[in-house]
Amino acid sequence: MTDPVLSIRNLTVEIPTRHGIFKPVEHVTYDLHPGEIRGVVGESGAGKSMTGNAVIGLLDPPAHVSEGEVWLNGRRIDELDAEDKRRIRGKEIGMIFQDPLTSLNPLFTVGEQLVETIQLHLGLAASEARKRAIALLDRVSIPDPADRFNQYPHQFSGGMRQRVVIALALCTEPSVLIADEPTTALDVSVQAQVLDLIKELAKERQVGVILVTHDMGVIADTTDTVTVMYSGHVVESGTTDQILGAPTHDYTKSLIAAVPRPHTKVERFPMVSYGERERTFKIDDLAAHWDKTNLSKTGKLLEVENITKTFLQKGGLLPSQRQYFTAVDQVSFDIRDGEVFGLVGESGSGKSTVARMIGTLYPLDSGRVIFDGEDVTAMGTDALQAYRRQIQMIFQDPFSSLNPRMRVGDLVAEPIHHHQILSKAQIGPRVRELLDWVGLAKDAWRKYPHEFSGGQRQRICIARALATQPRFLICDEPTSALDVSIQAQILNILKDLQDHLGLTMLFISHDLPVVRQMCDRVGVMRQGKLVEVQETDSLFATPEHPYTRELLDLMPRLKQLA
Amino acid sequence: MLSYIIRRVAQSALVLFVVGLVAFSMFRFVGDPIDNMLGQERTMEDVERLRGQLGLDQPFPVQYVKFLQEAVQGNFGVSFRQGRPVAEILAERAPATLELAMVSAVFAIVLGIALGVFTAIRRGGFAANFIMSASLIGVSLPTFLIGILLIYIFSVELGWLPSFGRGEVVDLGWWNTGFLTASGLKALILPSITLGLYQMTLIMRLVRSEMLEVLRQDYIRFARARGLSDRTINFRHALKNTMVPVITIIGLQLGAIIAFAIITETVFQWPGLGLLFINAIQFVDIPVMAAYLMMISVIFVTINLAVDILYAFIDPRLRVSA
Amino acid sequence: MNRVRRILDSDQFYAFRRSPVAMVSATVALVLILATILAPLIAPTNPFDPSSLNLMNGFTPPMAPNAFTGESFLMGTDDQGRDVFSTILYGMRISLFVGVAAVLFAMVLGITLGLLSGYFGGWTETIIMRTADVQLTFPSILLAMLIFGIAKGITPIEYRDQMAIWVLILAIGLSDWVQFARVVRGATLVEKNKDYVAAARIIGQSPLTIMLRHILPNVLSPVLVIATISLALAIIAEATLSFLGVGAPPTQPSLGTLIRIGQGFLFSGEWWILFFPACTLLALALSVNLLGDWLRDVLNPRLK
């Protein structure tokens, strides 16, 4: 093998805080060879990005490198002064950030930003720089590069902007590219194209790429080698096949066990927990208190008939100037008693809007929602309150779905209180029982949400959702903000709820492997329309609609996983 | 772009219409104009005749339209206190205020932006911290105290500069200026510092906080990752983005300078519009108050309109849509 | 007890103890506020009780015995023989009362309108925020003067002095609500799209409950910062109006009125009549401003 282009030895980063010195990166060591794509994977806070920032000299004070060495092409660069480090940035090491929408200066044209970088590092004349910039835009597959050269960033779509960012990072022929979650903010179809582009360029130009990500699918499809990080340490490094196929470290094992498989459905996720040990979810205690007598009259708990919702996209004084956007267009489906019905689609496909329409958060423009044989859209105040008692919702972001100014106990008590299900004296004990059942500590009720981790918060949300003993649960991307091992725990809890309590669920996700594990039937949405509904297994085996086929093709194969 | 400008112009017209309504309502309902114009000894016929003459017997909207027509022609009635046409008094006083405001505005903007950029870039440095602390004293020190302090130091103790008035003024017929004589220029120094200091501190603090906000953005981080020098990042990328919001506020501050001139003019006995206005309030001289309000709002609205249009030229997101 | 311990252990309190500027300005503000509340107990004389006045004491310099009566005053006396220290204590009462009342008024009005326009949007928002925009075109001090002028015009002459304080509060408060409304509206727009509001709506809570119970507590910290800075501005605005002679009347002098009176004696050498009220006003405004500045840094760590 050739000599490494980048070599990180024993790197430690320190942040002095009020409570002592915090080390987000400790003794990290790995190499990067020309043309190699090295995935750095780990959960949020594992120190993946911080390592990249330390290499390129972009740590925000007071964070600083306290120990270790960084070698670039045989030259030690961690001890250089600020000015020399700056010369390396952009010239020898390029960088790509997560969000392409904010990475470009909105007040300068794409061309100005490219030319500026090229001239700075390569010292070319303006016309030469321009030629080179246009060639690069062409190389990253931007159509009409000469015209696009003079446009401003806001005139590009998200995926196109990320291509421009890649062009900017590569315009000076660097030998190393650090890509920090480069596709997390993009849709699956765009994500695949951008990753392919990075792969091609790495091979073509022999650039070493550090690809920081939390997504095992990206790792499996794109990288050659993988470094796994856990709380600031490297726990394991090796080739991608080796790490995914035969992990040796316990953490890596637990991480890989928790990844939802796209091709087979498992009963439960295997729980090899490492680090944050969660208390168990007491489904039997919960089931003992649950009233399971109500079954629906028709076998269909929820029917949705031709629902449509349009939003005002651009206001105007005159009606003719206004532009509307049809978020949900004539969507119909029904959900049987006790089943989990999945809705998948890319962002903007209208799946969350459907959930919110069923949850009475958005009024319908037209169509009907029928719950247990009763038309929700025609309900009076009292009937509507009764309906709301039967449905509950779990949201994507557990950091925003709990009011930060309320105690956990009050949060869980709120639905009980509002629907006057129990007397005041009974509420307190019931809330404590609920929190105990979902696996939180005895004193959780008097704490505030910020004292809990993401997974624990999602448990609080589940406790709140179960407080009114609902029959129908809407889960809107309930795990997409969570790390993969926590995701497995929460998904297991949801599976238990369905099995033991007979809860009916609408499960919304953009993640096909997760949908495969969770749902009995699946509907696919695209641009506001429901294009296909099938039993889960047959949808994955024999997709009918071309769009479904496209989505399935883009799904990470994870072929290395057993 | 064109529709954007048209919308702004329409909005400005609406604002002026509303302000006119307020001014007119003052005229009409605050204090009885008849009471003000006729003395104690009056007959019912006198009252009726004057009412007819002033058009006060007509319905409110008709009166308002008439008022607007008059106002557009520069006719704001007669001052209750001085007995002279208000337009004449305003024309005589305006140059003093405008000259003072112009000098202070230049002072405030130039120094404000320069110091703001400096304190943002050198954040945490000794000089920047010192300027920031001093600026907080500047914000806490009411304008009139600054004026008194300057008078005490430079007029009473040192005797270098005059403590009141405009000095010698050259009459150009339609304008009288203090720019052309040494005493006129000397007289301008203290009042314009007094007037500009507070605005300068505000502009400086605003530029600083906007610039710090911009420096935290991802595209600045990305620019650093591209290896651009601090100079290029600060003065090319960050400064331009900083100026977009700052320009709006500077527009507002220009309006504020004309309003704050009231205080400075009182302290320095500067014979401008502000002094006129404050006297009008003290003596409830409604026509002068209403006319001042109308005139100053025309100035404000014009400045704002200019700023909005300038804004569109700086920000490509407004100029070219996706 | 638990709560007290939590406050003492909080990052905010830690930042407070680490910042000498914050400690000093908080102390100064506290001392000034206490002195204001306890003015009748601290002040050597009641400057508004004619029986305690002795014209012979006029123009006594600070800390020096009067040539005729031999009495000595900490900060001297004015032309009518009033003790400057006592007039400052009583003047500060007016200044602070007007400032606090005006800010409270602006705050209640601004929060209400901001919440309504942020939560409901549509026409409610258009009307409220366009009004705010128009008002923002006009500097608040000018608006306050205008409101004062109009109010003066409609009050009968015999009530003008009594009403002056209330008119001042109204004028300053009305000229300052926009800030609160804009900030609260902005924060409400952010908060109302968060899922905890959706969670509250899904169980069927009314908009009023949601606004008061869920959104309001989450938008209060920027309001607190603005309120502090507004208090300093309101105190300055009141002083300015009174200085210009369109504020507190000489019968109820605020610090601004005292400075207006004192300005007349600056050229004749009786500097203390101006100097002490001016220093008090500066100390008051500066300490409140420093506190506000510090609060903003702490509550909004990004802006440091």
**Inter-chain touch B260–C289, beta carbons under 8 Å:** no
What is the token pair recorded at B265? 């003019």
Q: Contact B233/A58 with Cβ under 8 angstroms?
A: no
**Inter-chain touch B217–A102, beta carbons under 8 Å:** yes
Tell me which of B231 and C106 has the higher pLDDT.
C106
| Cα-Cα-Cα-Cα dihedral sign, residues C173, C175, C176, C177 | positive
Q: Looking at chain A, which residue has its C-alpha nearest residue B244?
A: A107
Instruction: Say yes or no to pLDDT of A1 above 60.
Output: no
| Closest C-alpha to B290, from B71, B49, B48, B91 | B71
Q: Does C204 touch chain A (CB under 8 A)?
A: yes
Return d(Cα B237, Cα A105) in angstroms, integer.
7
What is the token pair recorded at A61? 């004070």
Q: For position B38, what pLDDT does the model report? A: 58
Instruction: Say yes or no to pLDDT of A279 above 60.
Output: yes
Q: Which of C14, C199, C203 sits opposite A18 (nearest CB)?
A: C14
Residue B93's alpha-carbon distances to A330, B75, B176, B193, in angstroms, are 69, 16, 9, 20
Q: Which amino acid is at A195?
A: L
Q: For position B288, what pLDDT does the model report? A: 82
What ipTM was reported for this prediction?
A: 0.79
Q: Which residues pair with A533 in a beta bridge?
A: A523
The average pLDDT across C128-152 equals: 79
**Inter-chain touch A395–C203, beta carbons under 8 Å:** no
Residue A372's alpha-carbon distances to A297, A504, B67, in angstroms, are 7, 12, 67
Q: Does C200 touch chain A (CB under 8 A)?
A: yes
Q: For position A507, what pLDDT does the model report? A: 95
Q: Which residues pair with A37 in a beta bridge?
A: A209
Secondary structure E strands in C142-230? none
User: Vertex B287, ends B281 and B289: CA angle to 5°?
Assistant: 35
Q: How confident is the model at residue B54 (pLDDT cuts 50, 70, 90)?
A: low
Residue B256: its chain C contacts at CB < 8 A?
Answer: 139
Q: Does A403 touch chain C (CB under 8 A)?
A: yes
Average the pLDDT over each of A302-306, A441-445, C107-111 and give the range with the smallest value.
A441-445
Give residue A315's region: left, alpha or beta (phi > 0; psi -120 to 50). Answer: beta
Instruction: Say yes or no to pLDDT of C1 above 60.
Output: no
Q: Contact B8/B308 with Cβ under 8 angstroms?
A: yes
Q: Contact C112/C124 with Cβ under 8 angstroms?
A: no
Q: Contact A3/A31 with Cβ under 8 angstroms?
A: no
Q: Is A380 helix (H, G, I), strand (E, B) or coil?
A: coil
What is the token pair recorded at A100? 């392409």
**Inter-chain touch C282–B145, beta carbons under 8 Å:** yes
Q: pTM for the complete prediction?
A: 0.80
User: Looking at chain C from residue 208 to 237, which residues have their Cβ under 8 Å from any Cβ of chain A?
Assistant: 214, 217-218
Q: Does B314 touch chain A (CB under 8 A)?
A: yes
Q: Which of A95, A105, A151 sits opposite B225 (nearest CB)?
A: A95
Strand ranges of the sheet holding A225-230, from the earlier edge strand across to the other edge: A93-96, A176-180, A208-213, A37-41, A225-230, A233-239
Q: How confident is the model at residue B222 (pLDDT cuts 50, 70, 90)?
A: confident
Q: Contact A54/A25 with Cβ under 8 angstroms?
A: yes
| Cα-Cα-Cα-Cα dihedral sign, residues C289, C290, C293, C298 | negative
Average the pLDDT over each of A64-78, A218-232, B70-84 and give the range with the smallest value.
B70-84
Which H/E stretch holds residue A15? strand A6-17
**Inter-chain touch B316–A107, beta carbons under 8 Å:** yes
Q: For position C304, what pLDDT does the model report? A: 36
Average the pLDDT over each of A199-203, B153-157, C281-285 and give the range with the smallest value.
B153-157
Q: For position C277, what pLDDT does the model report? A: 83
How many Cβ atoms from other residues are within 10 Å of residue A549's Cβ?
13
Tell me which of B15 and A275 has the higher pLDDT.
B15
Q: Contact C114/C211 with Cβ under 8 angstroms?
A: no
Return d(Cα A552, Cα A542) in angstroms, integer.
10
What is the token pair recorded at C53? 């006045």
Q: Is A397 helix (H, G, I), strand (E, B) or coil?
A: coil
Q: Is B267 helix (H, G, I), strand (E, B) or coil?
A: helix
Q: Which residues pair with A393 in a beta bridge?
A: A474
Residue A117: its chain B contacts at CB < 8 A?
Answer: 226-228
Contacts of A426 (CB under 8 A, 6+ apart): none
End-to-end CA distance of chain C: 32
Q: For position B322, what pLDDT does the model report? A: 38
Distance from CA of B225 to the nearest CA of A (A): 6
| Cα-Cα-Cα-Cα dihedral sign, residues A179, A180, A185, A188 | positive
Q: For position B303, what pLDDT does the model report? A: 83
> C115: exposed, middle or buried (C-beta count within 10 Å: 0-12, 13-18, 19+)?
buried
How many Cβ atoms from other residues are within 10 Å of residue A468's Cβ?
18
What is the token pair recorded at C97? 């009362």
User: Vertex A205, ends A202 and A210: CA angle to 5°?
Assistant: 35
Q: Contact C67/C73 with Cβ under 8 angstroms?
A: no
Secondary structure E strands in C112-197? none
Q: Which of B7, B210, B219 is the best residue to mutate to test the A interface, defined by the most A CB atoms within 10 Å of its own CB? A: B219
User: Vertex A94, ends A89 and A99: CA angle to 5°?
Assistant: 115
Distance from CA of C114 to the nearest CA of B (A): 21
Which H/E stretch holds residue B110? helix B86-121
| Cα-Cα-Cα-Cα dihedral sign, residues A63, A64, A70, A75 | positive
Q: Which residues of C touch B (CB under 8 A)?
A: 134, 136-139, 141-142, 145-146, 148-150, 152-154, 232, 236, 239-240, 243-246, 256, 259, 263, 266-267, 274, 278, 281-282, 285-286, 289-290, 293, 302-303
Q: Which of B218, B227, B244 sits opposite A102 (nearest CB)?
A: B218
Distance from CA of B133 to the nearest CA of C (A): 9
Q: Contact A322/A314 with Cβ under 8 angstroms?
A: yes
Average the pLDDT over each of B233-242, B276-285, C26-35, C275-284 and give the range with the smallest value.
B276-285
Q: Which residues pair with A508 in a beta bridge?
A: A343, A476
Q: For position A277, what pLDDT does the model report? A: 59
| Closest C-alpha to A552, from A534, A215, A477, A541 | A541
Average the pLDDT over each of B251-255, B297-301, C233-237 and give the range with the smallest value.
B251-255
Return d(Cα A107, Cα B317) in angstroms, integer.
8
Mean of all residue pLDDT scores within chain B: 80
Residue B240: its chain A contacts at CB < 8 A?
Answer: 107-108
Q: Contact C184/C116 with Cβ under 8 angstroms?
A: no
What is the token pair recorded at A34? 């020309």
**Inter-chain touch C218–A385, beta carbons under 8 Å:** no
pLDDT in tens, C182-232: 889 988 988 888 889 999 998 888 899 999 999 998 888 888 888 888 898
Return d(Cα B297, Cα B15) in angstroms, integer.
9
What are φ and ψ of residue A68, in 5° steps?
100, 175
B partners (3+ CB pairs within 8 A) are A, C
**Inter-chain touch B148–C266, beta carbons under 8 Å:** yes
Residue C195: its chain A contacts at CB < 8 A?
Answer: 395-397, 400-401
> A19: exposed, middle or buried (C-beta count within 10 Å: 0-12, 13-18, 19+)?
exposed
| Cα-Cα-Cα-Cα dihedral sign, residues A141, A143, A144, A148 | negative
Residue B212: its chain C contacts at CB < 8 A?
Answer: 303
Please report where in the chains the tokens 């959930």 appear, as a residue.
A355
Which runs of consecutive H residues, i.e. helices, occur in A335-375?
Answer: 351-358
The average pLDDT across A107-123 equals: 89
Strand ranges of the sheet holding A323-336, from the earlier edge strand across to the other edge: A323-336, A300-314, A366-371, A374-375
DSSP string, A188-216: HHHHHHHHHHHHHHHHHHT-EEEEEES-H
Q: Is A25 helix (H, G, I), strand (E, B) or coil?
A: strand
Q: Looking at chain A, which residue has its C-alpha nearest residue B4?
A: A316
Instruction: Say yes or no to pLDDT of C301 above 50.
Output: no
> A419: exposed, middle or buried (C-beta count within 10 Å: 0-12, 13-18, 19+)?
middle
